[in-house]
């Protein structure tokens, strides 16, 4: 089963890390990614740019409106995600716990994926 592990953290905290702190966290996360890839359980992984680089398309207006930024009223922002192939929720949670140990703070939301394709719609995955 395919799960998304969405990584949330206080963007101000993460952006304030020194280069050394950031490289240390990313190094620990890379170790987990490499293991999952060897096991054939890792799909796409993305680290998102800061929300200051975001643009939002508001579809609840006619015509739709494009605005700078995400404008989410949240303390933690979505900073990245993992797509993992696992047997079920418990296995996805175990990976999320491991990611949490490598990158303390914030939260990891684990959500089953209902539809995905990796660049080729003919090879779509549905649950």
Angle at 88 between CA 82 and CA 91, to 5 degrees: 65
pLDDT, position 15: 93
pTM score, whole prediction: 0.87
pLDDT, position 26: 96
Strand order in the sheet with 107-112: 42-47, 77-85, 2-9, 107-112
Would you write out the chain's pLDDT as a tens digit for each of its 127 residues?
Answer: 999 999 999 999 999 999 999 999 999 999 999 999 999 999 999 999 988 888 888 888 888 888 777 665 567 889 999 999 999 999 999 999 999 999 988 999 999 999 888 777 777 777 6
- Rounded CA-CA distance 124/111 in Å is 18
pLDDT, position 72: 59
Domains of the chain listed by start with CATH number: 2-126 (3.30.70.1060)
Q: How many other C-beta atoms are found inside a 10 Å radius of the C-beta of residue 67? A: 11
- Rounded CA-CA distance 83/50 in Å is 20
**Residue that the structure tokens 């009223």 belong to:** 73
pLDDT, position 92: 97
Q: What is the CA radius of gyration of the chain?
A: 16
CA 78 to each of CA 45, 63, 71, 91, 116: distance values in angstroms, whole numbers, following the listed order: 13, 27, 12, 22, 19
């Amino acid at each position: 089963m395919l799960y998304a592990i969405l990584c949330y953290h206080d963007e101000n905290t993460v952006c304030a890390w020194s280069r050394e702190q950031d490289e240390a966290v990313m190094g620990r996360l890379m170790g987990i990614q490499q293991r999952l890839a060897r096991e054939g359980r890792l799909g796409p992984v993305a680290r998102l740019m800061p929300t200051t680089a975001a643009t939002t398309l508001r579809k609840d207006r006619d015509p739709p409106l494009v605005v700078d930024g995400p404008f989410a009223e949240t303390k933690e922002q979505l900073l990245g995600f993992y797509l993992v192939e696992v047997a079920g929720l418990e296995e996805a949670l175990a990976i999320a716990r491991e990611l949490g140990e490598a990158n303390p703070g914030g939260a990891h939301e684990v959500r089953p994926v209902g539809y995905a394709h990796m660049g080729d719609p003919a090879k779509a995955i549905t649950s």
